[in-house]
Amino acid sequence: MRLFSSVKDVTDINALVAEGLALKKNPYAHQHLGKNKTLGLVFLNPSLRTRMSTQKAALNLGMNVMVLNVDKEGWALELRDNVVMNGTTVEHIREAAAVMGQYVDILGVRSFPGLKNREEDYTEVIFNKFVEFCGVPVVSLESATRHPLQSLADLISIEELKTRPRPKVVLTWAPHIKPLPQAVPNSFSEWMCKAEVDFVITHPAGYELSPDFTTGATITHNQNEAIADADFIYVKNWSAFEPYGQIFGDNKDWMLTNDRLKTTNNAKVMHCLPVRRDLELSSEILDGPSSIVVHEAGNRVWAAQAVLKQMLEQLQ
């Protein structure tokens, strides 16, 4: 694997999940793979889980790790071609990414969408420039439209905790105070559509995701109907795909409470984190037995380690 940016880069998702679970049982079995190899992690946006779990995964594999918060610590990057750089940008991404590729064997990149220009975001302009110019294998640490390490960790969590062979998994929109990207729900949806689950998406009218990510899912505006008999409920806010990046009203009644879980199959509640308590998801759920959000975040290590292991095997 030279690129991990989407479920489409994975030849066998069941094998990758099994690899993650095997690594969880035996984290240090493959330290020879990472000896004298360096992972670079480049963040254009903030992170807690992705930063720490991917570092931990690389260390478990015997790699060295370098982290650059390019938004705060690097030179201001010019992303456009054919511009005279007489403004605030100091270094072009062509040179910056190419130089990073001189120092590392695998590069991880986080680059969120601007949520202003859908064409720009959905063609992954920034992430793809890193891929084009760095010259080494690249792992997405969340791009404008996808968060594949999160989705893999989510699928690992579902596989680990499911109580029936084909669980019902529901992705539900949740309230928020500001427009958020569609990357997590897009990605979760495209992974679930390939997994052995019954997958339902529920959201208020107007928050339809791009059909490029949801083919195969059942989609409804009725949250109560969606979550009935659910085994897993994945809670996430996102802004509209059309009109792009917009939000409409507060939809406070979409926040899940324990009472709303009564019709589920003892559902486990998931969220990628960070989560705004009592806005997106109730404290009573987060602090109660239904929540698996911390377990899910823990599995980020094994997701990252499974992907890095496959990349390192190809570098040997």
Closest to ligand CP by CB, 151 or 251: 151
Name the token pair of 168. Answer: 């019902």
Which of 47, 64, 89, 265 binds ligand CP (CB under 6 A)? It is 47
Write the CB contacts of 155 (distance below 8 Å, at least 6 apart in sequence): 13, 17, 191, 192, 195
- State in angstroms the smallest separation of the CB of 174 from ligand CP: 15
Instruction: At 257, list the tokens.
Output: 């409470």
Cβ proximity to ligand CP: between 261 and 275 the closer is 275
Tokens 């590069």 — which residue?
107
Give kind and range of the element (H or E) at residue 300. Answer: helix 300-315
The two structure tokens encoding residue 290: 């239904």
- Minimum distance from residue 78 beta carbon to ligand CP (Å): 25
Pairwise CA distance, residues 249 & 6, whole Å = 31
Nearer to ligand CP, 49 or 268 (CB): 49
Burial label for 162, CB within 10 Å (0-12, 13-18, 19+), is middle
For ligand CP, give the closer residue by CB, 142 or 159: 142
- Convert 182-199 to b/e letters by CB count within 10 Å (16 or more is b): bbbbbbbbbbbbbbebbb
The answer to whether 193 is annotated as binding is no
- Closest listed residue to residue 16, CA positions, set 164, 167, 159: 159
Count how many residues are written for the chain. 316
Residue type present at position 270 = M
Binding residue per annotation — 142? yes
| 302 belongs to an annotated ligand binding site | no
Query: Binding-site residue total for ligand CP (CB under 6 A)?
Result: 9
50 binds ligand CP (CB under 6 A): yes
Shortest Å, Cβ 80 to ligand CP: 26
Q: Is 272 in the site for ligand CP (CB under 6 A)?
A: yes
Exactly one of 29, 48, 90, 177 binds ligand CP (CB under 6 A); that residue is 48
Report the sign of the C-alpha dihedral through residues 170, 276, 188, 154, in that order: negative
Among 7, 6, 8, 10, which residue's Cα sits nearest to residue 311? 10
Q: Does 49 interact with ligand CP (rule: CB under 6 A)?
A: yes
Of the residues 273, 276, 284, 295, which one makes contact with ligand CP according to CB under 6 A: 273
Instruction: Find out whether 276 is annotated in a ligand binding site.
Output: yes
150 binds ligand CP (CB under 6 A): yes
**294 in contact with ligand CP (CB under 6 A):** no
**Which of residues 272 and 281 has its CB atom nearest to ligand CP in the complex?**
272
Least distance to ligand CP from the beta carbon of 299, Å?
11
Among residues 149 and 195, whose Cβ is nearest to ligand CP? 149
Select from 15-23, 82-90, 170-178, 272-280 the region that touches ligand CP (CB under 6 A).
272-280
Min dist CB 279 to ligand CP, Å, is 17
Nearest CA-CA partner of 172 in 200, 212, 205 = 200
What are residue 264's phi and psi, to 5 degrees? Answer: -85, 170
Annotated binding site for N(2)-succinyl-L-ornithine: 142, 176, 236, 276
Interface positions with ligand CP (CB under 6 A): 47-50, 142, 150, 272-274
Annotated binding site for carbamoyl phosphate: 47-50, 75, 110, 147-150, 272-273, 300
